[in-house]
Chain A
Amino acid sequence: MAAFKLPKYAAMLVMAVFTLYFLTPLWWLFVASGKKDGQVTEGSPLLPDHFALGANLADLFHYNDGIFLRWMANSIGYTVGAALLGTLLAGMCGYALAKYVFRGRELIFNIVLGGVLVPATALALPLFLMFSKVELANTFWSVFLPSLVNPFGVYLGRIYAAASVPDELLEAARIDGSGEVRTFFTLSTRLMAPAFVTIFLFHFVAVWNNFMLPLIMLGNERLFPVTLGLYSWNTQVNQHPELRALVLVGAFVSLVPMVIAFLSLQRFWRSGLGAGSIK
């Protein structure tokens, strides 16, 4: 019997090791965020002492008239807005490519797929020049509009729609007199819900982590997302060491929305990925 149980324990052990491996940096960040005046090297790196997270948070939220809170709000604005709208666009596009037969369908699909291969970083500079032409550089829109695009979402949407929305059902809806748009929003979106959540999560993470685009587009600090804001503080640590503490606490706080998004949406994500693969 023991011989049969061994693989299970081994699997548990591997998982435990990896959990530790992934959580240790987070724990370090938590402990470091709590250290007084950013004295990261003082005391033990993994045991909280002189715990002053509250005071550090207060410093963070008050520094430079509370610019950090503004950055967090910006990030949430860019991310949630772009992820919601981008998911809808990608879902509709994938659905159309899956369910309607028209000339050039495969061509469009292949071009979109090609878009998956182009790194967003490479597009930042051309986008900047284009947005400068229409005088939209250094505005909210210069980061928001490019963030709506999600070719991988279109791909996922098409695959999922093809697998989960039966043609017969659409046929029935048409016979009952439902228009295409109404059918999409009342019927197909429900069938595709897991795909939407998956696309949303991927998109959310991609926009939240997007760094190059805002770095190039934005000059106005009040428009920065939190990633760029923390980065700009961090580039000044050499000459203004007091910023190091703020960077650490800020990095810690900036993780919170991501954790919330994952914890609340992860069960959909799991079922979404699974369902797509079986069918």
Chain B
Amino acid sequence: MRLRARSIAILLLSTLSITACSSGGDDDAATTAGAASCAPSSGPVTLTYTTWIPNIEKVVDVWNKANPDIQVKVQTGPNGNGGTYANFFNQLKAGNAPDLGHIEYDALPSFRVQDGLTDLGSCDIVASAQSKFIDWTWNQVSFGEQGHVYGIPQDAGPMALFYRKDLFEKNNIPVPTTWEEYAAAAAKVKAAGGYITNFSQSDINQFAGLAWQAGAHWFGNDGTNWTVSMTDDATKKVADYWQGLIDKKLVSSVPPWTPEWDNAYNSSSAWTWVSAVWGANSIASGAPKTSGKWAVAPMPQWSAGEKVAGNWGGSSTAVFKTSKHPYEAAKFALWLNTSTEALTLLNKEANLYPATKEGASLPALKEGVEFYGGQPIYDVFAEASTQVKADFTWGPTMTQTYADASDGFKKAVTGQSTLTQALTDAQAKTVSTLKSQSIPVKE
């Protein structure tokens, strides 16, 4: 089903790029008109907001009751790559995009490149809210440009190590704090009849989080030109490391988000998972038989004593270029993503982990979690969230990049290729895709 979703996404995007080419010059006029003003509208305003957060209506209702003059109509549908991003692009073209949209960090650059977003940098309320957000999340929405903001950070996916406390203790394996120790533990786990983890065969997103931790810079933009470096030293280090584990058959490799994957964890075949904060829920519902036996530790480090975490996922609330009420839209987006009442509800209803500094101390994120033996696991993630490197940027064609890299990864885990080769190929294809879409790229 994931594959199908991806092929649909590609199909949608390819039809899109055809129409994008024929768009003509009317875009420039809209740019200058939209960017400058962030003045409040006079009179009552109705905003539309498209997202795929389950039960978002309950959160928006709270806002609507308190703000009779700024009513928000919410629409939900499939997730971004499942069709909603393609719809956003179509709607931008047709002029009926919603005021606000849910966009993941890795998709934000593609909307920026297509000039679909309102720059909220000139909104005072937005600029003054910057200090509320964890630094790296702000970089994800400003792309490091001072005075420019293309969305309000919503949630984050700081990564940590989920591990089977009971099995590690029973087999006298110390909990790894470095990747070296992790590889040593992998051999011991194999000897005890398990796999240290499952290296999901087509999940490039997890790998991106691991590379992010190691200091990779896959994409860069100097103001005009993009650079693509998916095979920089940091990425190669991570790829070689996992290639080693795959070659020694120390990891299993079932596809992610499938019943097989659940089963690998439920049957205690896989013992750890280096994953994002939202992964806590994935294990709990996928592997109910292992309840109470898990614990969470910080991500293993590349050098002992370091404190660096990766990030996997996370999204923003963006205001589209076509919105006539950017001030009110920004106001709502800020409330949605910084107010305690909204963050509490988003966490309760949809398991979102806030991108704000204060968000980490929501009461719900301080409690012990039964599935993890009562450990207050979110403390680990709160710390990890402050340790994510701020200078990682996504590229403007991630759907294609992910698809190409995933294809290569699938071959790598089955022994027909290597991870480095997959990344080299994805790099070349990304550069040619950028060129084919007339996005300036420096080789």
Contact = CB atoms under 8 A, between A and B. Distances in A.
Interface of A: 37-42, 64, 121-122, 125, 128-129, 132-133, 135, 137-138, 215-216, 218-221, 224, 228, 231-232, 234-243
A-side interface mostly: loop
B75 A220 contact: yes
Given A221-B76, A240-B351, A133 B94 contact: yes
Interface string B77-107: 1110111001100110111101000000000
Contact of B54 (A64, A128, A215, A224): A64
A41 B50 contact: no
Contacts of B76: 221, 232
B90 A125 contact: yes
Nearest to A242: B285
Contacts of A41: 259-260, 262-263, 266
B9 to A, nearest CB: 10
A128 B77 contact: no
B291 to A, nearest CB: 13
Interface in B95-126: 95-96, 98
A133 B93 CA distance: 11
A240 B54 contact: yes
Given A128-B94, A138-B96, A241-B281, 10 more contacts: A41-B263, A125-B16, A125-B90, A128-B90, A129-B94, A132-B94, A219-B50, A239-B278, A239-B313, A241-B285
A216 B313 CA distance: 25
A81 to B, nearest CB: 23
Nearest to A138: B96
A64 B78 CA distance: 15
5 contacts: A37-B285, A125-B19, A219-B98, A237-B1, A240-B351
Nearest to A235: B82
Contact of A216 (B82, B87, B95, B257): B87
B62 interface: no
A42 B259 CA distance: 9
A186 B278 CA distance: 64
A125 B15 contact: yes
B440 interface: no
Contact of A232 (B55, B82, B98, B282): B82
B288 interface: yes
B364 interface: no
Contact of B257 (A38, A40, A121, A237): A237
Interface string B33-67: 00000000000000000101011000000000000
Contacts of A239: 278, 281-282, 313, 351
Contact of B78 (A128, A135, A231, A241): A231
Contacts of A121: 11
Contacts of A241: 281-282, 285-286
Using C-beta atoms within 8 Å of the partner chain, give the interface range for chain B.
Answer: 35 or more
A215 B78 contact: yes
B75 A221 contact: yes
Interface in B5-32: 5, 8, 11-12, 15-16, 19
Nearest to B82: A235
| 8 closest residue pairs by CB, A with B | A132-B94, A235-B82, A241-B285, A232-B78, A235-B79, A41-B263, A235-B78, A219-B75
Contact of B1 (A37, A138, A234): A234
A90 B87 CA distance: 31
B77 A232 contact: yes
Contacts of B256: 238
Contacts of A216: 12, 83, 86-87, 90
A129 B90 contact: yes
A238 B81 CA distance: 13
Contacts of A128: 90, 94
A138 B76 CA distance: 12
A129 B95 CA distance: 9
A70 B342 CA distance: 28
Interface string B145-180: 000000000000000000000000000000000000
Nearest to B2: A238
A121 B19 CA distance: 15
B53 to A, nearest CB: 9
B273 to A, nearest CB: 13
Nearest to B313: A239
A239 B286 CA distance: 11
A238 B276 CA distance: 12
B83 to A, nearest CB: 5
Interface string B290-325: 000000000000000000000001000000000000
Contacts of B281: 239-241
A228 B281 CA distance: 25
A4 B8 CA distance: 51
Nearest to A221: B76
Contacts of B288: 37, 39
A242 to B, nearest CB: 6
B94 A221 contact: no
Contacts of B87: 215-216, 219
Contacts of B263: 41
Nearest to B284: A241
B50 A129 contact: no
A128 B94 CA distance: 8
Contacts of A129: 19, 90, 93-94
Nearest to B281: A241
Nearest to B261: A41
B18 to A, nearest CB: 9
Nearest to B52: A236
Contacts of B350: 240
A232 B52 contact: yes
Contacts of B93: 129
A275 to B, nearest CB: 38
A218, A232, A242 — which one has the most chain B CB atoms within 10 A of its CB? A232
B304 to A, nearest CB: 33
